[in-house]
Amino acid sequence: MNLLQEFEESLSGNQPPQNASVYLQSLWYDAKGEWNKAHHLVDHLSDKTACRVHAYLHRVEGDRWNANYWYTKAGEPMPDVSLKEEWKMLVERLLENRL
């Protein structure tokens, strides 16, 4: 089993994996339908990774203007993929980089 599969399986639980970074915790809560909790975890952080997760969350919210602002702060364009694909790409990147 790979790290992404393990992370996805953790969604059946009540808490994110114990060793999950704040970024992964945010994406975990987003996947559980807890957008406000996901947003609260990263909205006060200013590093590029937080900005990237924040951008995704505003895209989920449907606020494309705000999402574009955060993608720009993260130094990345808004991806032309589904939200599900973007979530998976972000989780894989964070797991791969141990963030």
The pLDDT value given to residue 98: 83
Per domain, the residue ranges of the chain are: 20-96
Q: Which two tokens stand for residue 36?
A: 């406000």
pTM tops 0.85, yes or no: yes
The angle subtended at Cα 63 by Cα 46 and Cα 78, nearest 5°, is 65
Give the Cα separation of 43 and 57 in Å (integer).
10
Query: Is 83 in contact with 60 (CB distance < 8 Å)?
Result: yes
C-alpha pair distances (Å), 18 with each of 9, 13, 66: 14, 11, 31
Distance from CA of residue 34 to its chain's centroid? 12
The pLDDT value given to residue 55: 98
The pLDDT value given to residue 1: 60
pLDDT, averaged per 10 consecutive residues of the chain (99 residues), comes to 90 94 98 98 97 98 97 97 98 90
